[in-house]
Amino acid sequence: MPEIDPWGDVEVGEYREKMEKFGIEPIEEIADKLPDHRYIRRGIIFGHRGMDEYLDALDDGEDVAMITGIMPSGMFHLGHKIVVDQVLMYQEMGADVTLTAADIEAHNTRGISLEDAREMVIEQYLTNYVALGLDLENVDFYFQSQAGNDHLARSKLFAKHLTRNEMDATYGEPSPGKIASALMQYADILRPQFPENGGPKPTVVPVGIDQDPHIRLTREVARKASQDFYKPASIYNKFMRGLQGGKMSSSDPKSYIALTDSVEEEKQKIDEAKTGGRDTLEEHREKGADVEEDMVFELLAFHLIEDDSELERIREEYESGEMLSGELKQIAKEKLEEFLLAHKERREDAREEVEQFVEENVESELV
Ligand code: TRP
């Protein structure tokens, strides 16, 4: 198996090693040119390819684009929110936003029917995007299975620029279903640059590092294609770990907080989360917590505390042993309760907008 498998189990950590091995640039050098976002201040966004060129173009007032996609695989949770927060950031920076619902990929690689994928995307994904603040008005949103003939034709034509060896080295002898999904994704990534969408133009793709194999090959396709494309830039975020430690997984509800979780569920999940607290009170007071191994602190840092000095104060108190795990959990529970209740209302408000959007933009007939 290749070191990074976009369809395998997500491997959390070892980011430095992978960056060096695959030539991903550290974010630090360009961080001051990006908006002041907690993901950047906290190293949650850690690396990129080709962002210098993208940011220069933005500086020069050129038209720029952002594209990303999510494969529908279950409940929409706080791990997914990391991508949506970034979409909002680029929308605010003035990028044209394209969003893919990867139903062909879900069908080919996860055995999810197009029908189930559609329902998940509308009920879970779109509704939560809008509730999180996405303005669908200026977004090119589409299902892969409805991408349009030119998009689908191009995804097949791109195959010409890649070899069997490249595919095997990148994906580890991919099945036909994976090859079809990968080709689809190259077209997704280059879509904002199609002539009918005003391309070519600099494009950024915010993703988890598991998607880097697709980015590498799309950059290769962009270079070789007869059409004029900018090589897409990419920017990588760390994965949130599961609440119990290890990976966050759509198939294990205890590992994530869904944006539709009730306050009771949320509190119970936090109660059962893995912390960096010590076994006895005495030991905790003496050594302090191991903050790096604390999933509740991770939750605060990724999503629940915007103010750096507030987060730092908590870190110091917790690391010194002054604050106990139970107290940390209490803070997280309250913040999350506030977020989930407000989000629930925003989701109710979003429903009508999403319904109308779907009516106007999604073909009702399935393939
Ligand atoms: N493969 C991505 C996932 O597993 C989904 C996806 C499809 C995507 N097309 C894309 C992501 C284009 C970024 C850009 O979630």
pLDDT tens for 29-66 read: 999 999 999 999 999 999 999 999 999 999 999 999 99
Distance 33 CA to ligand 1 centre (A): 26
Q: Does pTM top 0.85 for this prediction? A: yes
pLDDT-derived band at 9, boundaries 50, 70, 90: confident
pLDDT exceeds cutoff 90 at 10:
no
Please state the rounded mean pLDDT for residues 118-142: 95
**CATH 1.10.240.10: which residues of the chain?**
253-347
Nearest to 63 by CA among 165, 156, 197: 197
Distance 102 CA to ligand 1 centre (A): 6
**CATH 3.40.50.620: which residues of the chain?**
15-239
Overall fold of domain 253-347: Tyrosyl-Transfer RNA Synthetase (1.10.240)
Q: Give CA torsion, residues 156, 162, 164, 169, to 10 deg.
A: -120
Distance 35 CA to ligand 1 centre (A): 24
Q: Whose CA is nearest to atom 11 of ligand 1?
A: 69
In this prediction, residue 62 carries a pLDDT of: 97
Distance 343 CA to ligand 1 centre (A): 25
Q: What is the pLDDT of residues 301-342, one digit of tens each?
A: 999 999 999 999 999 999 999 999 999 999 999 999 999 999
pLDDT-derived band at 199, boundaries 50, 70, 90: very high
Q: Is the CB of 203 under 6 A from ligand 1?
A: no
Q: Is the CB of 68 under 6 A from ligand 1?
A: yes
Kindly state the percentage of the chain with pLDDT values over 70: 100
Q: What is the mean pLDDT of the chain?
A: 96
Distance 70 CA to ligand 1 centre (A): 5
Q: What is the pLDDT of residues 267-300, one digit of tens each?
A: 999 999 999 999 999 999 999 999 999 999 999 9
Q: Whose CA is nearest to atom 4 of ligand 1?
A: 71
Overall fold of domain 15-239: Rossmann fold (3.40.50)
pLDDT exceeds cutoff 90 at 13:
no
**How many DSSP H helices and E strands does the chain contain?**
17, 7
Kindly state the percentage of the chain with pLDDT values over 90: 95
pLDDT-derived band at 11, boundaries 50, 70, 90: confident
Q: Give CA torsion, residues 346, 344, 35, 208, to 10 deg.
A: -130
Q: Is the CB of 71 under 6 A from ligand 1?
A: yes
Identify whether the C-beta of residue 277 lies closer than 8 Å to the C-beta of residue 320: no
Q: Is the CB of 121 under 6 A from ligand 1?
A: no
Q: What is the pLDDT of residues 59-83, one digit of tens each?
A: 999 999 999 998 998 899 999 999 9
